[in-house]
Amino acid sequence: YTTLSIEPMKFQYSNEELRNEIASLTLGDLISYVERLWSHGQGEALVQGNMNAEEALAFIDAIDQELPFKTDPDEVVPPYLYALPLPIVKQGDEPTRIQVSEPNKSNQNSASQVMFQCLGKTEKDHVLIELLNAIIEEPFYEDLRTKQQLGYIVSSGLKAVGESRNLSFIVQSSVAPAEKLTEAILQFLGTLRGTYLEPLTEEDVAINAKSLFIRKTTPDKTLVTETTKNWSEIATGRLQFDRIQREGAALIDVRKKDLLDFWDKYFVYERRVIVSETIPSSGVASSKAPPKSTGYASARSKSSKNLALGVDDINEFRRQREGNDAVDGTMWM
């Protein structure tokens, strides 16, 4: 639900919405869809390998002849995916929180995901959040999984949505309720700067940056891997085929101060964070079932302070974040 909350309405649908549509589908609907599928649109292609430009164009032309659809004008083609900006959560305020009941009654696991959104678009922003994840991934696992033994799944990781980057912290547990998992994650993050970042030396930062640099710039071993990366640039509309080189150059210049400043900006002073909790109905990790709506959808005021949402409030939250309707007045698209 964290991912759903930051994607525009027409890009992603909830599981319930998809189930409802599937239930009403008929064979006639499927046939009609297939008939329309190749009738119009815009095609994009990537040819990569042992072909020159003339051979590649001839190859694409052959495919084009087999799929003779009408080319749509640019104005009717959907835009590329972009991230809806989460509201800024000020120091002392609770993060935006979504609580959802586990639909499978026999599943006795609770789960919590705390996701921070970084809207920085530069190569330096992107490598800094990657570097941050590389530094704290192991300590996060060691603390919550090994020491506190809160859950058998403990992980952190990055995901790109458009030009934004999201850093998520996830714990799944059969022994602790979701609220306790969230509290433990936030406590870990609250001490992270002083415990893990400030003690770093410039050499430590350089070693971690070098490791990330090597991983990024190591040549792909297969044509499929290389092509997949390039196709991603096309499919997302970014078209930055020199992304690896530019991010590698940014890594060379990273210093400890850059890392601390990045943390302070996106995880303290301008933190855009959302919590998603899954609550089972039985077992040790269960707790009181959350309401499907907290009243957010019908409320006149859409304040983002200490915001709590039920599963039925998510679409209204997304609508409020789209376009120029962000309640904190901060826009990023």
- The confidence score (pLDDT) of residue 128 equals 96
Render pLDDT for 258-277 as a digit per residue (tens, 0 to 9): 999 999 999 999 999 999 99
Structure confidence at residue 323 as a pLDDT band (50, 70, 90): low
> What's the whole-number mean pLDDT along residues 195-214?
94
| CA end-to-end span of the chain | 20
The b/e string for 181-192 (b: 16+ C-beta within 10 A; e otherwise) is bbebbbebbeeb
Sequence-separated (6 or more) residues with CB below 8 Å from residue 169: 113, 114, 115, 140, 155, 156, 185, 188, 189
3-state secondary structure of 57: helix
Token readout for 56 is 């590649």
- The confidence score (pLDDT) of residue 165 equals 93
By the 8 A CB rule, do 249 and 179 touch?
no
By the 8 A CB rule, do 2 and 115 touch?
yes
Alpha-helix residue ranges (DSSP H) falling in 176-269 = 178-192, 202-217, 223-235, 243-252, 256-264
Most distant CA pair in the chain, distance: 65
Structure confidence at residue 304 as a pLDDT band (50, 70, 90): low
Q: Is the pLDDT of residue 187 over 60?
A: yes
Mean pLDDT of the chain: 88
User: Which string of DSSP letters, residue by residue, matches 263-319?
Assistant: HHIIIIIS-BEEEEEEE-SSSTT--PPPPS--STTT-S----TT-EE-GGGHHHHHH
- The confidence score (pLDDT) of residue 325 equals 41
Q: Is the pLDDT of residue 332 over 60?
A: no
Structure confidence at residue 296 as a pLDDT band (50, 70, 90): confident
- The confidence score (pLDDT) of residue 301 equals 55
Q: Is the pLDDT of residue 54 over 90?
A: yes
Question: In percent, how much of the chain has pLDDT > 70?
Answer: 95
- The confidence score (pLDDT) of residue 40 equals 82
Q: Are strands 273-279 and 96-101 parallel, antiparallel or unpaired?
A: parallel
Q: Is the pLDDT of residue 48 over 50?
A: yes
Q: Is the pLDDT of residue 328 over 50?
A: no
Give me the phi and psi of 206, to 5 degrees please.
-65, -40
- The confidence score (pLDDT) of residue 12 equals 83
Q: Tell me which of 70-74, 126-130, 213-217, 264-268 is least confident.
A: 70-74
Token readout for 216 is 């990024």
Q: Is the pLDDT of residue 115 over 60?
A: yes
Sequence-separated (6 or more) residues with CB below 8 Å from residue 316: 296, 297
Q: What is the pTM of this model?
A: 0.86
Give the CA angle between residues 32, 37, 41 to the nearest 5°. Answer: 140
> What's the whole-number mean pLDDT along residues 97-110?
92
How far is the C-alpha of 185 from the C-alpha of 77, rounded, in Å? 41
How far is the C-alpha of 154 from the C-alpha of 56, rounded, in Å? 46
CB atoms within 10 A of CB 80: 12
